[in-house]
Amino acid sequence: MRIDKYLKVARVIKRRAVAKELGDNDRLKVNGKVAKPSTEIEIGDIIEITFGHRQLTIMVNDIKHQAKKSDDPLFEVIDDSSFK
C-alpha cells in the first residue's frame, strides 16, 4: 500500500492530501530513507514523520484498505518527541 494512503487509513493523518504534501516536502522516511507519497510500505516498516517541531516514529503492525475506529490500531508508536 502507498504510504500516503496508509497514513490516512491508519488515522495518523486526517487527509491523504496532507500525507502527500509531507512526502513531497521530504518529511517522511521509511526505514531511514526519504519516502515519496507513492512509496510502498510493508508490515514491520518504521515510518518517521516530521511535523514542524514534532517528530513521530511508528511501526507498521497491519495493513488494511479500510479500517474502523473499533479495529485494533494498524501501527505502534515508537517515539513521539518535540524539538525546540
Residue 23 belongs to domain with CATH number: 3.10.290.10
Domain that holds residue 64: 3-82
Cβ atoms of 19 and 4 closer than 8 Å: yes
Q: Is a pLDDT exceeding 70 seen at residue 78?
A: yes
The total number of structural domains in the chain stands at 1
Cβ atoms of 75 and 60 closer than 8 Å: yes
pLDDT in tens, 17-56: 999 999 999 999 999 999 999 999 999 999 999 988 899 9
Q: Is a pLDDT exceeding 80 seen at residue 84?
A: no
CA angle 5, 53, 19 (to 5 degrees): 10
Mean pLDDT (whole number) for 70-83: 85
Which pTM value belongs to this model? 0.88
